[in-house]
Structure 1
Amino acid sequence: MSTPHQEHVSHAHAHGPGCGHTEVRHGDHVDYAHDGHLHRDHGGHWDGCEPAGHLSHAGHDHRHGQDCGHESVRHGDHVDYLHDGHRHAAHDGHWDDH
């Protein structure tokens, strides 16, 4: 699964520790949840950091939801749950790994 380069050209806010947006560890960088999508620092500008394609998280038996113990992050038209370094989203009876 790859992440396409999508520069967020109208983003003047500088994300960082204590900026008020949820930090999401994502591989070798940190994404910031802001206005329903994720931003990451990339060479002096901010990219929208969204995965391409569909990746099911096989064998994930835990049911995320309100009070499940995992932080929730609004993501477009749904909610992702931060769990063990992944973002899980409900999809057609299973959990996707974002």
Structure 2
Amino acid sequence: MNKYEMFIYKFLYFDELVRSNKGLDDIAFQEVCESLKELGPLFRKNNSVPLDVANIFIDMYSSIESSADRHPPEMREKILLAADTLAGIAREMTCESTN
């Protein structure tokens, strides 16, 4: 499994947990953040984002945000912060990759 596939796998697992009654899992969140950060050098090297990863980026925030509403307020806030964090990492890396 390459780094792109690993990120997609880890994100989908994290997203599935958020959609379920389990809510935010701190370990899964850290793993998806680390996996996402590992893609930065690849984006810069290739000066592009693979389509499979771009498709995740397009819906990443909204899929997490929509799942947050099914949880109690404290968990909802943690989930929204996680969505902000992941979107921020993706935004930062894709802006860097085009310079």
TM surpasses 0.5: no
Quick check: which one's helix share is greater? 2
Q: With structure 2 as the length reference, what TM-score do the two structures score? A: 0.27
Relative contact order higher in (CA < 8 Å, ≥ 6 apart): 2
